[in-house]
Structure 1
Amino acid sequence: MFAQVLQNSVYTFALILTTFLLALAAGAAGARVLATRSVDPRRVLVLLLVGGGLLVAATPYFFVWYTNGLAGVDAGPALTGFSEYVWRVLGATVLILGLPTVWLGLLFPYLLKAAEVWRTSPGRVVGELAAINTLGGVAGALAAGFVVLEWIGLWHGIALVALLYLGTSLALSVRTFDALLWGALSVGAAIVIVAGAGASRLPYAPLPASKEIVAVLEGPSGTVAVVEHPTSLDLWHNNSYGVGGTDDRDQEARQAHYPLVLHPEPRRVFFLGLGTGITAGAALQHPLEHLLVTEIVPEVSEASRRHFAPWLNGLFEDSRATVLVEDGRNHLLGSRALYDAIVADLFLPWKSGTGSLYSREHYAAARERLAPGGVYAQWLALYQFSRDEFAAVANTLVESFPRVTLWRGNRRHTHHLVLLLAERDPAPLDLESIGRRIEAISPVARDATPREPDDPAIPPDAVHVLSSYQGNLTAARELLSDAPINTDDRPFVEYSAPVTERDSRINAVAVIENVELLDFYDAVFSAAPPETDPVLAELPPAYRGLPRAGLELYRSRVMVGIGQPNKAIQAFSRHKRLRDAALEGQAAGGAE
C-alpha cells in the first residue's frame, strides 16, 4: 500500500518496518496492562477482534484521504527536502499503520495471558499458541503476496483481512449469548461489508481528467497501471515510477540502437529490464540470432504483452526473442551463455535494491557473460543523479572493464540520458562498421519518420553517431578518482540517491545537468582530448573534431533552455564551424 505513495528507498522501508515493530511492542505493553483487569477474557478478545476488523477496513479509506487520492504524503504546493520528507513519512506511517498495529498488537499477548485461565499447563499453551502464530504468519505472508494480491487486489485484500478478524470474533462468540458482543459483531460486520463493497471505487492513481486507466495489474511487486491520454499510452509501476510510454518511443528505441551499432556484429543480446518493451523490441530491427529480455516484475511483462504490442516489433511472438520474468542480475550469475551485448535499462537509483545493479560485483558477473568483443551498455538518466553518484557509477564501471566510453543519449537540455559503453576487448572505433550496422537495420524502421527529426531513434549515419561521442572515461579516470566504488556491501548509490531525489527539489543538492553537466563534459575532453584518444585512433584526423562539434550543438540546446540565447548562438556557430571543417577536411582527404 505505502509503495503507491512513497519513494520506496531503503529509508522509507526502514521507517515502515521500525514503525510496525514499535507499534507491536506498544500493543504488547498495553496487553500487559489489560491483562490485570478483572474482566471476561472472551469478551475482551471478541471486542479486540471486532475493533481490529474495523480499523483494518477503515485503513484504505483513511490512507486515500490522507495522501490526497494517492498524490503522496507530501502533496501540496510546497516542495520538501529529504529531512522534512522523512518526518512526513514517519508521521504518515504512525497514523496510517502505527495506530491500527498497536490495537492489533494487543491481541496475541493478551491471548497468551487469557489462555492460562483455560489450560492447566501455561508452558504448553504458550508453546502451542506461539507455533500457531508463527505458522499463521508464514501462511499469511505467502497468501498475501502470491494469492490475494493477484486474485482480488490490494483494496479487496485488505477488506478480506478485516472479514477474517470478524469471522474469528464470531467463532469465539458462537457458544454464548452476550448482547454487547453480538451488537458489536453486527455493527462491525455491516461496516466491514460496506467498506469491502466500496473498495473497487478506491483509486489506483491520481489522474487528471485528460488521462484514463486502461488496465491495472496487481501482484507481489505492487501495482502496475496502463494509463492512456491523448498523445500517449504510458506504463506506471506503483503510481510513482513511469516505466515508459509511447510518446517517448524514439528515445526508448534509441537505447537499443546505439549499443548495437557500436558493436561490429551483435548476434546474441541480453536486455536487463523490459519496461514497455519498446527498447527491446527495437533490437529486433537488427539481424540478431537471439534476444533475451529479463523483467523482475511479472505485471510489467504482462502489461507490455497485452497493451504495447503495436510498438514492440513482435517481441512476444518473434522466434528469436525470449522474455523471462526473472531477476536479470541473478540470471547472469547463474547462466553460462555468452552475449555480444548486454543492455542495462534505466533504473531508479533511489529505489531499494537498485543499487546492486550498479555494483562492482554485478559488473564483474556481466563481464564474464560477454563474448569476445562484447559490450556492456549502462544507460543513466543524469537528471536523477548528483555529480557524486554519477561519478561512483562511472568509477565502478571503469574499475570493472578494460575501457569505458561516454556517449550522449539525446540532445535534450532536460531529461538528458547518457550511455556508458564498457568494452571487454577494447578496439578503435570503426566508422565503416557503424555504417554497416546502420544499413543492416530494417529498411522499414530506417524509413520511418522520426518524432524528433534532428534526434532520431535510428542514427542516419556514422557521422551522427560520432557526434554523440563524449570521451574516453578510462583515459579521463582522474576526474573520477575521488568517487567511491559502489559495492554490494557498501551501496553508496542506494543510500545517497534518495537524499538527492528529495533535496534536488529544493535546490539543496544539484543533479548533474545543464551548466554543471557541460562543465563535466568539457573536463572529459580536457583530460582525454579526442585528437589523441585511442578510441578514435583509426579515424581520419578531420573526423576527430566531430565529437567537439556534437558537444557544441548540445551546449547550444542547453543555453536556449536556460534562457541565454547569445551563448546559444555562439555555441551553434562553433558547432557549425567544427562540423564543416571535419566534413570538408575528410572530403579533401578523400579527393587526394
Structure 2
Amino acid sequence: MPRLVLAATAGLFLLSGFAALVYQVLWVRELGLLFGNTAQAAALAIAIFFAGLAAGGWFWGRLAPRVRSPLKVFGLLELGVAATAVGHFVLIDLYHIIYPALNAAAGDTAWATTALRAGLGAIVLFPPAFLMGGTLPMMGQHLVRITGRLATTGTAVYALNTFGSALGALAAGFVLPPLLGFSGAYLLAIGLDLFVGLAAIGLAMGVVLAPTGTRPQEAAAEQPRNARSNTAAAASAGLPARLVALVAFVSGAATLGVEVLWTRLFAQVLQNSVYTYAVVLVAFLLALSLGSLTANALARLRAPAPRQLLLLVLAASGAVIAASPWAFHAVTGGLAYVGAGASWLEYLGAVSVVALLVMVLPGILLGITLPYLLRLMEAARPEPGEILGRLVAANTTGAIIGSLAAGFLLLPWLGVSGSLLVLAALYPALMLPLILREPIPWPHRVIYATPIVAAVAALIAFRTAGPAATTLNADERLLEVIEGTHATAAVIERGEHRLIRVNNFYTLGGTGALESERNQTLIPMMTHPEPRSVFYLGMGTGITAGTSLLFPVERVDVCELLPEVVELAERYFAPWNQGLFDDDRATVRAEDGHHCLRHADTDYDLIISDLFTPWKAGTGNLYTREHYETGRARLAEGGLFVQWLPLYQLTEKELGTIARTMDAVFPQVVMWRGDLFADGSIIALVGTEAGVTVDPDALVAHGRSLADNPALPEDLLQAVNLRFYAGNVSLSGLFDEAPLNTHDRPVVEYQAPRSQRLVQAGEETWMTGSRLGFLYQNLAEQVPPAEDPYLAALEDDAHGYVDAGRHYYFYNVLRMNERHDLAGAQLRQFLALTPFDQPPGDPEAPTTRSSWEEGR
C-alpha cells in the first residue's frame, strides 16, 4: 500500500475518534437535559454508550476476518453512524413530547424510572454506538493485513483513535458549542462521519485483500528473535484467551474507575466549568494515547518476555494509583485553589500543568495494558479484527462496571482516597493468576505470589489512611464531610455560625447570612396577595425555603440537586429552617430542579430559583430560554417566577444575557434588590404575566402577620419592602441588545468562566458597587416609579420609597469608598422619602456582604 494511502487511512481513523468523542459529549448533555442533570443520568448515558461499543466490538470483530474489504466495511459503518445519529434530532424532539407522560406513569418508583430512562436512552445511543464499536476491529483487520504486524500495528491504531478522541474532547469543550452551538457541533460530527465513510469506501476500491489472516512472512519478521523461539511462542500461546479477556476487563474497570475518582479530586481545586472538565478529560485521553504508543515501543523489545513485562506494567500501575491521592495533594499544595489570581489563559495553563503532572505517568501506565495484550496474543496468530473486537468488548464492559462502582459504591463508602487504594489493589490481584501460570516450579510461584498478596491486603487495610477530603481555614472546625456520588460536601463551624461548603471552595450559605437568605423568600412572598404553593429550585441550608413556612402556605416543593447537601441541611440546620424537613406542607427532593419543575403535577404561585455559581458546568442551563419557558408554564394565575442572581459573581455581560433571556419569555420582568450592600449584592429578576402589579394591601397584611402586630402602620410596612424594588427591566430596554441564552447556545455557561478569571486578574469587575448603582439609576430614569405599570396600585407617596432604597444603596457605596461627606447627603434623602426616623437597622453597620457576615 502506498505511504500516502496509508497516511490517508490513518487520518480517517483519527477523524473517526474525533467525531465519536464529540457525539459522546453531546449525547450525555442532551440526555441530561431530558432526564435531569444528575450523576445517575450521566452515568446511565455513558453506560448505554459503552454497552453499544462493547457489543459492536464483539459482533463486528467476529465478522472482520470473513470480510473481503474491511476498509470498505469501516466506511459503511461510519455512514451508518452518521445515519443513526441523524435520528437523534427526531427522537429527542419526540422524547420531549412523550417523556412527561411516560415519566408520570412510572411514578416515584426508582426501578421503573431507571428502566424508562434506560430504554429511551438506548434507542438513541445504542445503534450508533454499536456501529462505532465495529470501527476499530475493521480498521485493525485492514491495516494488519497490510503490514502483517499485529502488535505494533494494533497498538498504533489504538493510539491514533484515542488521540482523535482527545482532540474531539478538546473541540467539544472549548470550540464547537460557542462557535456553532450544540446543534451545529452535532451536525459537524455527522458531516465528518459522512466524509470519513465515503473517503474510506473510495480508498477501499483500490485496496482489496483476501479475507485471510496476517501475512505469515511479515508476521514472522515482526517477531523479536526471542519471541520467534519455540519456547517463547509456546509461553505466549499458553496464556488462555479467558485470562487475556480478564486482564482487559479489569484494566477497563480500573481505568474508568480511576478517571471518575480523579475527576472528583480535580473538582476540589478547580473552577469546575465546562472548560476545566474538558482539560482534565483531554489530559487523561492524551495520557492513554501515550500509553498505547508506549505499548507500541514495548512490543518491539526482545526482552523481557511479554508476560514478564506485563507483570511489571501491572505492578507499576497499582503503585502509581495508590500514590495518586498524596501526589495530588502535593501538586496542589494541599488542595489549594489552582491558578488563583491568574488571567484566563494563565489559568488554563495552570490547570493543564496540574492535570498533566497528576495524570500523565499513571495514565501512560494505565494505557499500556490493553494494547500490549496484542503482543501476548501474537504468537497464536489470531485474526486481528477478531482479537481487537474481543479485547475492546471485555475492556469496555469492565469500564461500565468500574465507572459505576467507583461513582456509586466506592466513593460514598470509602471516599476518594480509599477508593483509589481499592482500585490500586486490583492490579497486584490481577498479577496472581499470571504468576501462577508462569512455567516455573510451584514453590517459586508461591514465593513470587506472597508479596503480591501482602500488597493487596495492605492496600485494602490502609484504605482509610488517605489525605483530608477538604481544607479548613484557621478559624474553622469541621463538623462533618460527605464524599457522595455528586459532590464532596462539608458542614463547617466558624465561630457561632455554620455553613455548607461544596467541593472545598463553594459556600452554599450559612447561619452567618441568615437575614439575607430569609430575604430571598420574604421579598417575593410579601408582594404576592395570597401565596399558597411555592416551588424552590435549589435549597442549600434550607433557610430560604423554610422561611416560606412562616406564611399560610399549603404546599412547598423543594428540589436540590445534591443529595449530600440535603442530608447535611437536615442534620445540622434544623434550628434555622423552620422545620422544613418535618412540616407536612413541605416536600424536599434530591433531584435536578429543572427536571422536577418540568414534571410537577401542579402550578405554583411562586417559583423561587436560588443563587447558583454561574461558571459551574451545568448551571448555565438554569438561565436558558427553555428553562424560563418551563417556569412560566408552571405558574398559577398571577404567579411570580423569581430568579435570584449573585452579582458578586456576574459581570454586566452575564447579567445582560440573563435579563434579556427572561424578558424574551415573560411579558413583564422587574428587578428587586435582595439587600442594600455596596458590594456582594444579590438581586431578583421577577417574571410575571402582563398586568401583574405589586399589591400594597398584601405588603401590609403579610407584614402585620409576620410581626404578629396588627397595629403596625401601613406606610412603614410599605417602605420597609418597597425600598428593595429596583425597577422595570422589560420597559427599560437596557438589555435589549444582549444575546439570548438557550440550550443550543448556552452563552452564560461559556462566558462566565472567562469573566471569573478576568475579574480575578483585575481585568474586569463584577456587577457591584458603583457599577450596580448606575444600573439602578438608569432603570429609574428609563422607567420612573410613577410611570411603572408594575407599581400602578401604589399611592403617590409610596413611589418615593422606591427612590429611597436607591439613595440608601448609594449611601453604602459612598461609605465603602470613604466619601462620608457625600454619603450623608444620600442618607438624608433616604430619610426624607420614608417614614423612618433613622434607617432600619444600624446606619453604621458594615456596608459589604463579606464584612457583614463576618461581623455576625
Q: Which runs of 5+ in 2 are unaligned?
A: 1-264, 839-856
What is the rounded CA distance, in whole Å, between the counterparts of 1:385 and 1:148 in structure 2? 37
Measured after TM superposition, the shift of residue 241 of structure 1 is: 0.8
- 2:13 maps to none
What is the rounded CA distance, in whole Å, between the counterparts of 2:670 and 2:384 in structure 1? 69
- Taking a change above 3 Å as real, the CA distance of residues 142 and 371 of structure 1, as seen in their structure-2 partners, is same
Render the CA deviation track for 1:2-43: whole Å, top value 9, x for unaligned: 101100001101101111111111111111111111231111
- 2:399 maps to 137
- 2:854 maps to none
Is 1:41 the equivalent of 2:306? yes
- SS, match of residue 461 in structure 1: helix
**One-letter code aligned to 1:568:** A
Which structure 2 residues correspond to residues 109-188 of structure 1 after superposition, within 5 A? 109-118=371-380, 120-176=382-438, 177=440, 186=451
- SS, match of residue 805 in structure 2: helix
Residues 57, 195 of structure 1: 8 Å contact kept:
no
Of 257, 260, 267, the match for 1:3? 267
- 1:215 maps to 480
Residues 73, 88 of structure 1: 8 Å contact kept:
yes
- 1:80 maps to 342
- 1:24 maps to 288
Of 376, 385, 406, the match for 2:641? 376
Measured after TM superposition, the shift of residue 261 of structure 1 is: 1.0
**One-letter code aligned to 2:524:** P
Residues 271, 280 of structure 1: 8 Å contact kept:
yes
What is the rounded CA distance, in whole Å, between the counterparts of 2:636 and 2:484 in structure 1? 36
Which structure 2 residues correspond to residues 221-370 of structure 1 after superposition, within 5 A? 221-370=486-635
Name the stretch that deviates more: 305-314 or 339-348: 305-314
- 2:724 maps to 468
- Taking a change above 3 Å as real, the CA distance of residues 181 and 414 of structure 1, as seen in their structure-2 partners, is farther
Measured after TM superposition, the shift of residue 72 of structure 1 is: 2.0
Measured after TM superposition, the shift of residue 112 of structure 1 is: 2.5
TM-score, normalised via structure 1 length = 0.91
Is 1:389 the equivalent of 2:654? yes
Residues 214, 227 of structure 1: 8 Å contact kept:
yes
Render the CA deviation track for 1:344-383: whole Å, top value 9, x for unaligned: 0000000000001000000001100001001001101101
Give the number of equivalent residue pairs: 567
Measured after TM superposition, the shift of residue 549 of structure 1 is: 1.1
Which structure 2 residues correspond to residues 51-70 of structure 1 after superposition, within 5 A? 51-70=316-335
Residues 332, 366 of structure 1: 8 Å contact kept:
yes
TM-score, normalised via structure 2 length = 0.64
Measured after TM superposition, the shift of residue 121 of structure 1 is: 4.5
What is the rounded CA distance, in whole Å, between the counterparts of 1:17 and 1:182 in structure 2? 40
Render the CA deviation track for 1:123-151: whole Å, top value 9, x for unaligned: 43332221111100011111111111111
Residues 170, 185 of structure 1: 8 Å contact kept:
no
Measured after TM superposition, the shift of residue 180 of structure 1 is: 11
Q: Which is greater in Rg?
A: 2
Measured after TM superposition, the shift of residue 116 of structure 1 is: 2.8
- 2:166 maps to none
Which structure 2 residues correspond to residues 477-492 of structure 1 after superposition, within 5 A? 477=733, 479-492=734-747
Render the CA deviation track for 1:218-237: whole Å, top value 9, x for unaligned: 22212111111212111011
Residues 530, 536 of structure 1: 8 Å contact kept:
yes
Measured after TM superposition, the shift of residue 535 of structure 1 is: 1.6
Name the stretch that deviates more: 285-294 or 213-222: 213-222
Residues 545, 582 of structure 1: 8 Å contact kept:
no
- Taking a change above 3 Å as real, the CA distance of residues 324 and 198 of structure 1, as seen in their structure-2 partners, is closer
Measured after TM superposition, the shift of residue 170 of structure 1 is: 2.0
**One-letter code aligned to 1:488:** H
Which structure 2 residues correspond to residues 92-107 of structure 1 after superposition, within 5 A? 92-107=354-369
- Taking a change above 3 Å as real, the CA distance of residues 29 and 461 of structure 1, as seen in their structure-2 partners, is same
Of 501, 504, 509, the match for 2:756? 501
Which structure 2 residues correspond to residues 378-417 of structure 1 after superposition, within 5 A? 378-417=643-682
Tell me the percent identity: 38
What is the rounded CA distance, in whole Å, between the counterparts of 2:741 and 2:327 in structure 1? 40
**One-letter code aligned to 2:556:** L
- Taking a change above 3 Å as real, the CA distance of residues 185 and 22 of structure 1, as seen in their structure-2 partners, is farther
**One-letter code aligned to 1:512:** M
**One-letter code aligned to 2:671:** L
Render the CA deviation track for 1:476-528: whole Å, top value 9, x for unaligned: 02x11221111111111111111111211222011111111111111111111
What is the rounded CA distance, in whole Å, between the counterparts of 1:6 and 1:185 in structure 2? 41
Name the stretch that deviates more: 527-536 or 7-16: 527-536
Which one has the bigger strand percentage? Answer: 1
- Taking a change above 3 Å as real, the CA distance of residues 557 and 462 of structure 1, as seen in their structure-2 partners, is same
**One-letter code aligned to 2:451:** S
What is the rounded CA distance, in whole Å, between the counterparts of 2:771 and 2:648 in structure 1? 11
Measured after TM superposition, the shift of residue 582 of structure 1 is: 13
Measured after TM superposition, the shift of residue 422 of structure 1 is: 1.0
**One-letter code aligned to 2:326:** Y
Is 1:552 the equivalent of 2:552? no
- 1:197 maps to 462
- SS, match of residue 550 in structure 2: coil
**One-letter code aligned to 1:471:** G
Is 1:426 the equivalent of 2:691? yes
Render the CA deviation track for 1:298-331: whole Å, top value 9, x for unaligned: 1111111111111111111110000011111012
- SS, match of residue 366 in structure 1: helix
- Taking a change above 3 Å as real, the CA distance of residues 145 and 359 of structure 1, as seen in their structure-2 partners, is same
- SS, match of residue 475 in structure 1: helix
What is the rounded CA distance, in whole Å, between the counterparts of 2:406 and 2:537 in structure 1? 28
Name the stretch that deviates more: 541-550 or 385-394: 541-550
Residues 559, 590 of structure 2: 8 Å contact kept:
yes
Residues 560, 591 of structure 2: 8 Å contact kept:
yes
Residues 535, 607 of structure 2: 8 Å contact kept:
yes
Measured after TM superposition, the shift of residue 536 of structure 1 is: 1.8
Measured after TM superposition, the shift of residue 442 of structure 1 is: 7.2
Name the stretch that deviates more: 117-126 or 397-406: 117-126
- Taking a change above 3 Å as real, the CA distance of residues 15 and 581 of structure 1, as seen in their structure-2 partners, is closer
**One-letter code aligned to 1:149:** L
Q: Which runs of 5+ in 1 are unaligned?
A: 448-458, 584-592
Residues 807, 827 of structure 2: 8 Å contact kept:
yes
Residues 159, 196 of structure 1: 8 Å contact kept:
no
- Taking a change above 3 Å as real, the CA distance of residues 562 and 506 of structure 1, as seen in their structure-2 partners, is farther
- SS, match of residue 552 in structure 2: coil
RMSD of the TM alignment (CA)? 2.5
Residues 518, 555 of structure 1: 8 Å contact kept:
yes
- Taking a change above 3 Å as real, the CA distance of residues 118 and 72 of structure 1, as seen in their structure-2 partners, is farther
- Taking a change above 3 Å as real, the CA distance of residues 195 and 228 of structure 1, as seen in their structure-2 partners, is farther
Residues 623, 741 of structure 2: 8 Å contact kept:
yes
- SS, match of residue 87 in structure 1: helix
What is the rounded CA distance, in whole Å, between the counterparts of 2:672 and 2:687 in structure 1? 11
- Taking a change above 3 Å as real, the CA distance of residues 581 and 209 of structure 1, as seen in their structure-2 partners, is closer
- Taking a change above 3 Å as real, the CA distance of residues 130 and 563 of structure 1, as seen in their structure-2 partners, is same
**One-letter code aligned to 2:736:** S
Which one has the bigger helix percentage? Answer: 2
- SS, match of residue 228 in structure 1: strand
**One-letter code aligned to 1:522:** Q
Of 496, 502, 524, the match for 2:779? 524
Measured after TM superposition, the shift of residue 195 of structure 1 is: 9.2
